[in-house]
Structure 1
Amino acid sequence: MMPATGTGSGTWAQQCPLCGQRNGCAVAQGLPAAQCWCMTADIDPQALQRLAPAERGQRCICPACGSAQPDPGASPNRGD
């Protein structure tokens, strides 16, 4: 997930649109995008799909909502 291009230092920019908690966005805190947690994290694509279309690329989710969750229906890869 790339940091949102339209974020500012306001509360809206610092809240995860999925859970309402602080999103930890470095850009919203006035820091370089390279320092954001999302630049080195594996973001769950399904989490991004839960965002309203108008918020995609504009709002940042938090690490908890963005963490890739294993699919409970998937079988483990056993190297078959």
Structure 2
Amino acid sequence: MSVTPGLDASRCPLCGEVNRCAIELERETGQAQGPCWCMQAGVSREALARVPAEARGLACICARCAIDAVAPEPVLTPSPSGRGLG
């Protein structure tokens, strides 16, 4: 999978903080990780909609950005690339 130049998949595309994505960490280190926090978190459609198009499916948002925009009906939508949410 190609990565957008300048895109750091280990950082939240909304705030730039480390997103703590277990899937990305496993890819980078080759060491098995447990399930990513985002696969069990409720993330609103609004939060996912704020992810820039060029980062969708390539970089996860961080827990803080996910929590800041939690909707009444949480939505879990893994990306088509299988690399977490967003």
Instruction: Compute the TM-score of the two structures, normalised by the length of structure 2.
Output: 0.60
Shift of 1:54: 2.2
Q: 2 CA distance for matches of 1:62 and 1:69?
A: 16
Equivalent residue, structure 1, for 2:19: 23
Kindly indicate whether residue 59 of structure 2 is the aligned counterpart of residue 63 of structure 1. no
Q: Which is higher, the Rg of structure 1 or of structure 2?
A: 1
Deviation digits for residues 16-59 of structure 1 (CA, Å, limit 9, x no counterpart): 01001010100111145x61001110002111111112221111
> Aligned-pair RMSD on alpha carbons?
2.4
1:12 to 8, 11, 22: 8
Instruction: Compute the TM-score of the two structures, normalised by the length of structure 1.
Output: 0.64
Q: 1 CA distance for matches of 2:71 and 2:45?
A: 10
Question: Which 4+ runs in 1 deviate beyond 6 A?
Answer: none
Q: 1 CA distance for matches of 2:15 and 2:41?
A: 18
Q: 1 CA distance for matches of 2:2 and 2:50?
A: 19
Where structure 2 has 5 or more consecutive residues not aligned to the other structure, the ranges are: 27-31, 73-86
* Partner SS, residue 9 of structure 2: helix
Q: 8 Å contact 2:21–2:36 — kept in the other structure?
A: yes
- Number of equivalenced pairs: 62
**Kindly tell me: are residues 45 and 6 of structure 1, through their superposed partners in 2, closer, same or farther at Cα, counting changes over 3 Å?**
farther
Q: 1 CA distance for matches of 2:22 and 2:35?
A: 6
